[in-house]
Amino acid sequence: MTVQEIIFIFSFSLFAIGVAGVVATQNNFLFALMSIEIMLLSSIFLFTACSIFFIDSSMQAFVLLILTVAAAESAVGLALLIHFFKSKGSISYSFANLIKG
């Protein structure tokens, strides 16, 4: 097995763990956000490895874009969590319908 195959398998397994975490969390919004972060970080890992192996620095621009999206997702998600916890004292999905306009 080559190094490229090992990195691809590792990245795919991290992404699968993230998808399973999003699907498995039925009540906790925080674990769903953490699972989405794992999915984004697995794609960052794959793009960085491809950039190294193919000696192409243009993939690093995608890495910066994904990092920006992950930071924005974390900021918005944590703001929603703080709002839910202050208003209801819980961070379950059942209070997510309060956001609807």
Whether residue 63 is predicted with pLDDT greater than 80 in this model: the reply is yes
pLDDT class for 100, splitting at 50, 70, 90? low
CA atoms of 91 and 27, how far apart (whole Å): 8
pLDDT tens track for 12-38: 999 999 999 988 887 777 788 889 889
Pick 70 or 89 by higher pLDDT. Answer: 70
**What pTM, to 2 d.p., does this model score?**
0.76
**Domain interval for residue 87:** 3-98
pLDDT of residue 38: 92
**CATH number for position 62:** 1.10.287.3510
User: Which of 13-22, 64-73, 80-89 has the least mean pLDDT?
Assistant: 80-89
Q: Give the alpha-carbon dihedral of 18, 45, 12, 39, to 10 degrees.
A: 20
Domain count, the chain: 1
CA atoms of 53 and 50, how far apart (whole Å): 5
User: If you average pLDDT over every residue of the chain, what do you get?
Assistant: 83
Is the distance from CB of 41 to CB of 3 less than 8 angstroms?
no
